[in-house]
Amino acid sequence: MSKVNYQNDIFSQNLSLTKAPEINLDAVDLPRYYPVFQLVFWYGTVIVCLLMGAAFGMYSGEMWVETQGVNENVNPKNPVEAAQLLLFCVSSSILMSHFIIRPIYIAIFRRSGLLPLKVLIVSVCIHLGSRFEGLCGVIWNYIYNGFQYVPPDPASAALWVSYNHISFFMWTLIIFGLLFMQRRKNELIRRNNLESAVRQAQISGLKQQLNPHFVFNTLNSLRAMILKDKQVAKRMLTEMENLLRYSLTQSEKNTVSLSDELAIVRDYLSIEKLRFKDRIDVYWNIPEGLLSYQVVPLSLQTLVENAVKYGINQYEDGMFLRIDTYRDNHCLVLSVENRGKIVENAGIGIGLQNIRQRLALIFGEQAELSLAQKEPETVSATISIPLNTKGINTLLRHAA
């Protein structure tokens, strides 16, 4: 069975519609200026801690670390040496925060779960970051004092403990703030993409949804029918009016009920059956319980039009058309089968491109449009719409 799959890699081919990368709302990461933030934040804490040390008089008489008599080359009253100590520890904080804590924060932010558990994990990360910073201070103390450990005075120890915990706590708040901002940005991008696709479909409604040949041929048939049967011509005109109105008004919506979509499909097929007389046989299988489900406007109509367009000319004795809707697991499936063969190298029609893009933007990765040669003389076109897509209703309300 040959198959052409139109799943949701919606931008893998050149489309005539406005394009932008599809956004997965949960796949958020830190913004591009994150490295600059790391340098500014952690080295900014050096200045703050030095100012705190100066405010407490640690450079005026009190020793920063009790090194007197251990290493005569060290002047603990010199703030430059204190800055070297802080720079060493802050550099280690950058490594700790970026390679250890940052991946943990991003992982728990992306995943849903109990809030108390997330708070516990964050608290542990803050404590580990602080203790790692303290360990770096001990290592510095040991190396800088001739490989001998000299306990710091209580004031220095209290300052270090406060500095470590406060700095990692503030860093945590900012990181989660950046992640929330990035998720909000992704939501806006996806919403704008959806609105752009809807506007594009509205502006080019007839061009993309109603084949110009269909319109011209229908007008020619209508002109000929006026001379033969005015009642039939009047019926064709009414049904064509309904089809044009639906295309112009409903295409601006994100979704419509399956019942509304089927009504316009029936109008379209009535026109085509009048044009081609007895060459089209239509079979319907539409459970009433599915009529209230939401579908993309003109999606089913596009599949039917595509089937008639390519199927009617392949056989002089006519074609059949079978339209089914059913539930398959957690998906609503719209199926159109027709007598015919897939034309090789025919390309992807503008209407199918449009439906494919809007399916992906509205319903996400689980939505699918596929075209397959089911049997030697049977082509099957299928749209699969997930019924339990998380967040879709909220997205549709904002974009409507």
CATH number of the domain where residue 217 is located: 3.30.565.10
Question: 209 and 351: one domain?
Answer: yes
Q: Give me the DSSP letters along 198-239.
A: HHHHHHTHHHHHS-HHHHHHHHHHHHHHHHH-HHHHHHHHHH
Per the domain annotation, does 7 fall within a domain? yes
Per the domain annotation, does 196 fall within a domain? no
Q: What is the pLDDT of residues 203-236, one digit of tens each?
A: 454 344 455 656 776 777 778 778 778 888 888 8
How far apart are the C-alpha atoms of 337 and 360, rounded to whole Å?
23
Question: 168 and 258: one domain?
Answer: no
Per the domain annotation, does 380 fall within a domain? yes
Per the domain annotation, does 195 fall within a domain? no
Among residues 87, 159, 66, 172, which one has the least CA distance to residue 128?
172
Question: 81 and 160: one domain?
Answer: yes
The mean pLDDT value for 104-129 works out to 85
Q: What is the pLDDT of residue 345?
A: 58
Among the candidates 129, 155, 190, a domain finishes at 190
Q: What is the pLDDT of residues 384-393, one digit of tens each?
A: 998 865 444 3
DSSP letter at 342 equals: P
Question: 16 and 38: one domain?
Answer: no
- For the chain, first and last CA: distance in Å? 40
Among the candidates 133, 162, 190, a domain finishes at 190
Q: What is the pLDDT of residues 58-84, one digit of tens each?
A: 554 443 444 333 344 444 456 666 667
Dihedral over Cα of 105, 20, 351, 346: its sign: negative
Q: What is the pLDDT of residue 349?
A: 67
Question: 261 and 334: one domain?
Answer: yes
Per the domain annotation, does 321 fall within a domain? yes
Cα–Cα distances (Å) from 94 to 83, 100, 256, 370, in that order, read 16, 10, 52, 49
Q: Give me the DSSP letters along 260-288.
A: HHHHHHHHHHHHHHHHHGGGEEEEEE--G
Among the candidates 127, 156, 190, a domain finishes at 190
Question: 296 and 169: one domain?
Answer: no
Q: What is the pLDDT of residue 72?
A: 42
Among residues 313, 107, 292, which one has the least CA distance to residue 213?
313
Among residues 100, 91, 99, 88, which one has the least CA distance to residue 138?
88
How far apart are the C-alpha atoms of 274 and 279, rounded to whole Å?
10
pLDDT at 163 over 90: no
Residue-number span of the structural domain to which 133 is assigned: 34-190
Residue 63: other Cβ atoms inside 10 A: 17
Q: What is the pLDDT of residue 171?
A: 92
Number of domains in the chain: 2
Question: 7 and 148: one domain?
Answer: no
Question: 216 and 156: one domain?
Answer: no
Among residues 252, 346, 355, which one has the least CA distance to residue 301?
355
pLDDT at 340 over 70: yes
Question: 171 and 227: one domain?
Answer: no
Q: Which residues contact 111 (CB under 8 A, 6 or more apart)?
A: none
Q: What is the pLDDT of residue 287?
A: 93
Question: 226 and 290: one domain?
Answer: yes
Per the domain annotation, does 307 fall within a domain? yes
Per the domain annotation, does 148 fall within a domain? yes
The mean pLDDT value for 264-284 works out to 86
pLDDT-derived band at 21, boundaries 50, 70, 90: very low
Question: 124 and 57: one domain?
Answer: yes
Per the domain annotation, does 197 fall within a domain? no
pLDDT at 322 over 90: yes
Q: What is the pLDDT of residue 348?
A: 58
Question: 87 and 142: one domain?
Answer: yes
**Residue 157: both structure tokens together:** 């120890």
Q: Outline where the chain has alpha helix (H).
A: 34-55, 79-96, 102-110, 115-144, 154-203, 205-209, 212-228, 230-250, 258-276, 299-311, 350-363, 392-399
